[in-house]
Amino acid sequence: MKQPDFTEIADLIDQSHRILFITGAGLSADSGLPTYRGIGGLYDDADTEEGMPIEVALSGDMLRQRPEITWKYLLQVERACRGAGFNLAHRLIAELERLKPQTWVLTQNIDGFHRAAGSQQLIEIHGKVGELSCPKCHYEMIANDYSQIDGMPICPRCHGVMRPNVVLFGEMLPEPAVEVLHREMMRGFDLVFSVGTTSVFPYISQPVFEARKWNAKVIEINPGITEVSPFVHYKLPMRAVEAMEAIWEAMGQPVPQQQAALS
Ligand SMILES: [Zn+2]
């Protein structure tokens, strides 16, 4: 592991064709979002009013059995995040996709900020809060925020309770996203960035471990030490915005004007 050398990293980007960014809550923390562990961390160490852990309230089983409980906490989580938007790091990752068309983003974040910032080759492995679907009749709708939802969103077609297209506790990953991830992993990458994620899930840490097989370099951007820290080539112990801006400057690229969507 080496100390930050942004010129070396800029050179690596220059020499690479296929670049993967793996991103987590730390990236959106720079947008002012709470760095919760998954969707439930707003309630770290505390049970809900119903006396159950938040992981139970926000589980696929609870959504099926008592959707009013799951929705009560989904609305609370969404309200805590409302008004935030993508930040400069999201924006620079999207800009890099323009310079390097084989750039991909694998994100655990469900906030939709990568898409909003312009990333197109995007694997939202935990889904996104901005999409609702009806488990019964499969009606789909966009919900830019949940401010219009009173209690629970009801399907206009079959009057069933709708759900957000996010991975709740105890649920499987969305198959289309998994398929794209497998396909791109088979193609391999030249350079892997792990940004603002503790990498506790195997499908999040796997590309870091596969990097050796691809002969790829791995760069971690995270103020803390994580599961993958011992395995990376470069460790940038900084926040995502700070690190991406420094890399961008080292690449000789003009840093776009901010601040976009911060409320
Ligand atoms: Zn329906």
Q: Which of 81, 105, 138 is the last residue of a domain?
A: 81
In tens, the pLDDT along 154-169 reads 999 999 999 999 999 9
* Identity of the amino acid at 221: I
Q: What is the pLDDT of residue 251?
A: 96
How many angstroms does the Cα of residue 133 sit away from the middle of ligand 1?
8
Residues with CB under 5 Å of ion ligand 1 are 134, 136-137, 139, 155, 157-158, 160
Whether residue 105 lies inside any domain: the answer is yes
Residue 49 contacts by C-beta under 8 Å, 6 or more apart in sequence? Answer: none
Number of domains making up the chain: 2
Q: Which of 20, 49, 81 is the last residue of a domain?
A: 81
Q: Which of 52, 81, 110 is the last residue of a domain?
A: 81
Sign of the C-alpha dihedral computed for residues 39, 42, 44 and 48 taken in this order: negative
CA distance from start to end of the chain = 37
Whether residue 160 lies inside any domain: the answer is no
Do 188 and 245 fall into the same domain? yes
Do 73 and 176 fall into the same domain? no
Q: What is the CATH number of the domain that holds 20?
A: 3.40.50.1220
What percent of the chain stands above pLDDT 70?
Answer: 92
Do 118 and 239 fall into the same domain? yes
How many angstroms does the Cα of residue 162 sit away from the middle of ligand 1?
7
In tens, the pLDDT along 9-46 reads 999 999 999 999 999 989 988 887 766 544 444 555 56
Q: What is the pLDDT of residue 81?
A: 78
Do 98 and 69 fall into the same domain? no
Question: Is residue 182 annotated as a catalytic residue, yes or no?
Answer: no
* Identity of the amino acid at 239: R
Q: Which of 159, 152, 119, 167 is nearest to 137 (CA)?
A: 159
How many angstroms does the Cα of residue 140 sit away from the middle of ligand 1?
8
What range does the domain containing 47 cover? 38-81
Q: Residues 17, 90, 126, 159: which is the catalytic one? A: 126
Q: What tokens appear for 103 in the block?
A: 């750039």
Are the C-beta atoms of 16 and 94 separated by less than 8 Å?
no
